[in-house]
Amino acid sequence: MSNRRLIYGFHAVNARLWQNPKSLTELYALSGRHDTRMQQALEKAAQENIPVHFVETARLDNLCRHARHQGIAGFIDASHNHVHLDDVLDNLTESPLLLILDGITDPHNLGACLRVADAMGVHAVIAPKNRSVGLNATVSKVACGAAETVPYIAVTNLARTLRELKERDIWIVGTDMGGEADLFHYDIPAAVAWVMGNEGEGMRRLTREHCDALVSIPMLGTVESLNVSVSTGMVLAETRRQRALKAG
């Protein structure tokens, strides 16, 4: 099955079991483990008629390439992840808050970005199909379930997507060390899509040209830059803070 993708660990598996069980095609569980966490997962799998294979540690280790699987793993049909951006935007009950990741290639960074996006109530994460890591087992594990709950939309043409967002009156705000405004003195628009560049080069030129504003994060210490997931957390938290103040 070309759309099969491995997930492992209780956060990722449980998120699938309770949020999107039809996407799970089969589970692999460690033989002899009978604690409450495992029993709850197995009971839910039985309710959803998901096949479960009980295997030894060595089999799970090989399946997960010796990653920390916590005794449970599974395969999903990734085609069940497909979400259209229009569907997300058309069903919102508040101003859009989007996160655009322009060329994130490290799965740990993507997983961490998804986790903070979930925590800050981001409505969708958008990324180009090319030059991006995409969702994989490592991303799901690091995201601690957020990869299964936050819509992740891979687009073939990011510049076109940015233009479509502008047509919906969503401001495109990029993060850049040379930004004309700093995060703590920038009046964040009600409908906003934050753009984060990749780990080394930042945003691509064409992406930068589509931004309505460039905002920097004040650096008061000796380090020159922050990890992309840390920067993401800061801009999203400031967005939520300003929204709360404006709401009174």
117-160 tens-digit pLDDT: 999 999 999 999 988 898 888 898 898 888 878 889 999 999 99
Would you state the pLDDT for residue 5?
83
pTM: 0.75
Q: What is the tens place of the pLDDT at every residue in 181-217?
A: 999 999 999 999 999 998 778 899 999 999 999 999 9
Instruction: Name the more confident of 41 and 88.
Output: 41
pLDDT band at 1 (very low <50, low <70, confident <90, very high): very low
β-pairing, 192-197 with 97-102? parallel
Q: Minimal CA–CA distance to 157: which of 148, 165, 168?
A: 165
Would you state the pLDDT for residue 79?
62
Q: Is 190 exposed, middle or buried (0-12, 13-18, 19+ CB in 10 A)?
A: middle
Helix/strand/coil for 82: coil
Largest Cα separation within the chain, whole Å, is 59
Q: Minimal CA–CA distance to 192: which of 204, 180, 201, 183?
A: 183
Would you state the pLDDT for residue 80?
58
Return binding residues for S-adenosyl-L-methionine.
197, 217, 226
Residue ranges and CATH numbers for the domains of the chain are 4-77 (3.30.1330.30), 85-247 (3.40.1280.10)
Q: Which two tokens stand for residue 93?
A: 């009950």
Return binding residues.
197, 217, 226
Asked if residue 188 lies in contact with residue 239, where contact means CB atoms within 8 angstroms, the answer is: yes
- What is the distance of C-alpha 54 from the center of its chain? 30
Neighbours of 200 (CB within 10 A): 8
For the residues 216-234, what does the mean pLDDT come to? 92
- Residue 171 confidence (pLDDT) above 80: yes
Which residues, 6+ apart, have CB-to-CB distance to 148 below 8 Å? 7, 12, 15, 16, 19, 20, 140
Mean pLDDT of the chain: 91
**Beta-bridge partner residues of 194:** 99, 173
**How much of the chain, in percent, has pLDDT values that exceed 70?**
97
Q: Minimal CA–CA distance to 107: which of 57, 147, 48?
A: 147
